[in-house]
């Protein structure tokens, strides 16, 4: 209850801030030199209830008064304004339609919207342009373009964006939850008490509607649903979405300073790390490795997305054993085969020649950047109107259900089409397994690491110890108020009468520490990399280095200054590189001065950066078992090496753009080192590396951290054969159930 009361107070406080202060701020003549918090509040207003016209008069006034043609001199590039105006006059994606991330027609328009905002001379012009767009273009397209602009504009550094699952909950929250929120909205919480109890709906005295995610039909089709708590995790899908936001594949020129980053390698490594992380999750359920997608075989794994978009359309359900190749997509299949053959042949030959005369070299270790951008997007064709090659998107076209509507406005997306939903589908992982196999082939042809590259003379790891690693399923409340439309009275009050919350179960773990004892004969800077990986396969067989090297998850990497003698390196899990804690509610961001109690959020100066690209801290460890899931930890300490892989690496630019993923800003060794290439066990083991066995335990439901305001005193377990969380299926024991149980017992006598 304490959490809910605090949330209610924040809702009132935030509404007051927006209503009283923000209208005056945006009406100032210029907002060039305003502070970050003021900028942030302006952006939050623009993103609030994106499915409806804005409720704020100041935004509407700016949208009425601002004219693009009359202010064309206030943009760094005149052409971007002219291009947008021409497109706008012809017609754009209608408001009310669903904006699809991979639809080419939608994306062409979104890029022009982004360029209009990106090339605004200052924040004042940027904000006024955004206000103009907010009232005129498709809401989903506006959110996409505005998010990319905030990520990449220098004057937007420090702005905390609302979590995407708060802006548009439809892509993250099951449809039955949103439907229940509509029911409460329509009846003004006057539902039948029996129905409310059955659906798990609780309305507090503070007008906060809590909808229990566990009370719903489980749509289970395959064994993959055992790990849907991981693949459908809202923060994991946010991570995938923000990965694209930070490295949009269509940013293919030096104008955006993205070509000086290792963005292709980062995206490739992120994909392979996600595959390795899912592998660990599957091992805990005795499920074997993910198999790559086979075009010529029936698709065994179906998927029920459980997603309904705001226009009423549901993401299509794919049944089990579906044929991928039909008479309608055979041409796409031929194209996919041709492209895949050209790329694999190019890897073997060491080069690929494009039709515009460009030759892509694929021989040296640093050429992994070229291959990654070719497969994941980012390779621009110089003499073909800067068309971008994106092989993965071509592969996705084979799996779509709207073959005749690929480039139409009225397009019903599948899970593959959205960066916010693709991880939910088991076939996406199979597809990425096939894509990543081309990276594996490229790395296989590179020379193995020599002993000199692996060794660190004078440095020895003596011991690795960890705290007891314990995982559990806890509860979290997701603010889904933006999924519910405001009525006329609420629009005038500039807030919803009720706050709608979906209470979900999610994977978490207790904080832990990793301690590494290192002895050095000199004072020197070093890079420490920490991995966890499997020890046994799904059948209990011991794995060797060759078996596990693609399944090692890099949970931490950092620079450390070694002193002469013994060094004790202690790393707390929350301080591990590239991880973030729980994103706070937007209502909390609107008033940072309030005490952060009850939400488990620790405000730090650099949180705004981490919130964009960080991997969820609570997903560092896979769900353990009651007896302990047997894994192994690997630590390697190496010297800092600069200029070995990317001699032109501009570390300053990468730090300014917050692109420091893994070791990209402290070291130029390939990501995944030392497991990214084939291993010669006779030359691999050195004193500066060490393996140790670890076990990950699982805490039971009754002892996990839960919000204790739901009555579970008369609950019993209702089992579901395909669902991992049997203990989640809670139902009340009634007299009728007892009688039926007695009858069943008698029939077995």
**Residue 557 burial (CB count, 10 A):** 22
Give dist(CA 688, CA 461) in Å, integer.
5
Superfamily of domain 223-444: Di-copper center containing domain from catechol oxidase (1.10.1280.10)
Give dist(CA 212, CA 449) in Å, integer.
52
State the alpha helices, DSSP H only, in 403-559. 426-444, 451-454, 488-493, 545-548
Tokens of 282: 């599957």
Contact residues for 410 (Cβ-Cβ < 8 A; gap 6+): 97
Q: Does residue 507 sit in helix, strand or coil?
A: strand
**Residue 458 burial (CB count, 10 A):** 14
Give dist(CA 625, CA 639) in Å, integer.
37
Give dist(CA 728, CA 304) in Å, integer.
19
What pLDDT sits at residue 79? 94
Half-sphere exposure for 614 (CA within 13 Å, toward CB): 22
Q: Which residue has the tokens 């939050």?
A: 44
Tokens of 113: 């919207």
Among candidate residues 376, 371, 343, 375, the one with its CA nearest the CA of residue 240:
376
What pLDDT sits at residue 694? 97
- Going by their DSSP bridges, the two strands 469-479 and 689-698 should be labelled as parallel
Give dist(CA 71, CA 55) in Å, integer.
26
292, 420, 423 from 432: Cα distances, Å: 8, 16, 10
Among candidate residues 661, 653, 614, 676, the one with its CA nearest the CA of residue 366:
676
| CA dihedral for 644, 650, 656, 659, sign (positive or negative) | negative
CB 527 within 8 A of CB 556: no
For the domain 2-162, what is the CATH code?
Answer: 1.20.1370.10
Cα angle 638, 643, 644 (rounded to 5 degrees) comes to 65
What pLDDT sits at residue 387? 52
CB 729 within 8 A of CB 717: yes
CB 509 within 8 A of CB 470: yes
State the alpha helices, DSSP H only, in 377-524. 391-397, 426-444, 451-454, 488-493
pLDDT in tens, 258-307: 656 788 899 999 999 999 999 999 999 999 999 999 988 898 888 999 99
Give 572's strand partners: 513
CB 601 within 8 A of CB 581: yes
Tokens of 723: 């669902």
Domain 451-698, what fold? Immunoglobulin-like (2.60.40)
- Going by their DSSP bridges, the two strands 615-616 and 579-580 should be labelled as parallel
Half-sphere exposure for 404 (CA within 13 Å, toward CB): 2
CB 303 within 8 A of CB 425: yes
184, 484, 504, 569, 736 from 177: Cα distances, Å: 11, 11, 10, 46, 28
Tokens of 552: 């090692």
Helix (H) or strand (E) holding 477: strand 469-479
CB 272 within 8 A of CB 436: yes
Q: Which residue has the tokens 């590259």?
A: 453
Would you say the CATH fold of 223-444 matches that of 2-162?
no
- Going by their DSSP bridges, the two strands 499-509 and 524-534 should be labelled as unpaired
Low-confidence ranges of the chain (pLDDT < 70): 1-30, 216-219, 252-254, 257-260, 380-389, 402-408, 588-612, 643-661, 701-749
CB 474 within 8 A of CB 431: no
What is the pTM for the complete model shown?
A: 0.87
Q: How far is CA 114 from the centre of its chain?
A: 21
Tokens of 637: 């300490």
Contact residues for 656 (Cβ-Cβ < 8 A; gap 6+): 154
Tokens of 426: 């088991």
* Domain extent listing, the chain: 2-162, 223-444, 451-698, 711-747
DSSP tag of 20:
I
Cα angle 683, 688, 689 (rounded to 5 degrees) comes to 75
What pLDDT sits at residue 73? 94
State the alpha helices, DSSP H only, in 445-594. 451-454, 488-493, 545-548, 586-589
Helix (H) or strand (E) holding 275: helix 263-283
């Amino acid at each position: 209850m304490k959490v809910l009361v605090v949330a209610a107070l924040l809702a009132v406080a935030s509404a007051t801030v927006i209503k009283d202060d923000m209208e005056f701020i945006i009406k100032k003549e210029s907002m060039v030199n305003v502070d970050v918090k003021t900028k942030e509040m302006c952006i939050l207003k623009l993103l609030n209830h994106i499915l409806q016209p804005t409720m704020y008069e100041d935004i509407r006034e700016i949208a009425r008064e601002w004219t693009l043609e009359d202010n064309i001199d206030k943009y760094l590039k005149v052409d971007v304004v002219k291009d947008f105006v021409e497109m706008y006059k012809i017609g754009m994606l209608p408001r009310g339609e669903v904006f699809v991330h991979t639809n080419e027609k939608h994306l062409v328009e979104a890029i022009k919207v982004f360029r209009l905002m990106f090339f605004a001379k200052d924040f004042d012009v940027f904000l006024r342009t955004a206000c103009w767009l907010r009232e005129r273009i498709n809401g989903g397209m506006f959110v996409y373009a505005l998010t990319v602009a905030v990520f990449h504009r220098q004057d937007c550094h420090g702005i905390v964006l609302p979590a995407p699952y708060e802006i548009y909950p439809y892509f993250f929250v099951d449809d039955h939850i949103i439907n229940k929120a509509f029911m409460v909205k329509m009846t003004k919480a006057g539902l039948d008490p029996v129905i409310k109890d059955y659906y798990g709906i609780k309305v507090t005295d503070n007008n906060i509607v809590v909808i229990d995610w566990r009370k719903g039909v489980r749509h289970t089709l395959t064994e993959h649903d055992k790990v849907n708590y991981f693949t459908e995790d809202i923060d994991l899908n946010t991570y995938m979405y923000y990965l694209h936001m930070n490295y949009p594949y269509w940013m293919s020129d030096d104008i955006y300073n993205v070509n000086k980053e290792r963005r292709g390698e980062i995206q490739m490594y992120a994909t392979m790390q996600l595959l390795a992380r899912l592998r660990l999750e599957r091992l805990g359920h005795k499920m074997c490795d993910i198999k790559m997608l086979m075009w010529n075989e029936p698709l065994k794994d179906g998927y029920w997305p459980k997603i309904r978009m705001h226009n009423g359309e549901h993401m299509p359900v794919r049944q089990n054993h579906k044929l991928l190749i039909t008479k309608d997509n055979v041409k796409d299949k031929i194209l996919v085969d041709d492209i895949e053959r050209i790329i694999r042949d190019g890897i073997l030959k060491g080069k690929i020649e494009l039709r515009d005369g460009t030759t892509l070299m694929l021989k040296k270790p640093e050429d992994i950047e070229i291959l990654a951008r070719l497969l994941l997007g980012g390779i621009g064709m110089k003499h073909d109107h800067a068309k971008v090659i994106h092989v993965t998107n071509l592969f996705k076209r084979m799996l779509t259900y709207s073959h005749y509507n690929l480039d139409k406005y009225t397009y019903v997306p599948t899970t593959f089409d959205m960066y916010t939903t693709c991880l939910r589908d088991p076939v996406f992982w199979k597809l990425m397994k096939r894509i990543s196999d081309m990276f594996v082939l490229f790395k296989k042809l590179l020379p193995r690491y020599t002993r000199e590259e692996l060794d660190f003379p004078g440095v020895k790891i003596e011991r690795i110890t960890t705290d007891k690693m314990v995982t559990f399923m806890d509860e979290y409340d997701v603010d889904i108020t933006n999924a519910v439309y405001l009525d006329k009275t609420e629009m005038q009050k500039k807030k919803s009468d009720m706050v709608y919350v979906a209470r979900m179960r999610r994977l978490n773990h207790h904080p832990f520490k990793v301690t590494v004892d290192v002895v050095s004969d000199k004072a020197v800077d070093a890079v420490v990399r920490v991995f966890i990986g499997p020890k046994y396969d799904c059948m209990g067989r011991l794995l060797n280095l060759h078996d596990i090297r693609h399944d090692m998850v890099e949970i931490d990497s950092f620079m450390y200054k070694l002193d002469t003698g013994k060094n004790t390196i202690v790393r707390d899990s929350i301080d591990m590189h590239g991880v973030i804690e729980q994103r706070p509610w937007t209502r909390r961001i609107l008033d940072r001065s309030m005490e952060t109690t009850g939400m488990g959020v620790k405000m730090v100066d650099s949180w705004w950066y981490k919130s964009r690209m960080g991997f969820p801290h609570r997903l560092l460890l896979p769900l353990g078992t009651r007896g302990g899931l047997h894994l192994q930890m690997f630590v390697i300490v190496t010297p800092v090496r600069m200029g070995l892989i990317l001699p032109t690496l501009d570390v300053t630019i990468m730090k300014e753009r917050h692109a420091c993923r893994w070791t990209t800003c402290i070291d130029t060794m390939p990501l995944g080192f030392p497991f990214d290439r084939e291993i010669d066990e006779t030359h691999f083991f050195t004193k500066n590396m060490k393996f140790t066995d670890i076990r990950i335990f699982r805490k039971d439901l009754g002892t996990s951290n839960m919000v204790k305001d739901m009555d579970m005193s008369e609950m019993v377990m209702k089992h579901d054969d395909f669902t991992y969380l049997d203990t989640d299926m809670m139902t009340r024991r009634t007299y009728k159930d007892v009688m039926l149980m007695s009858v069943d017992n008698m029939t077995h006598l």
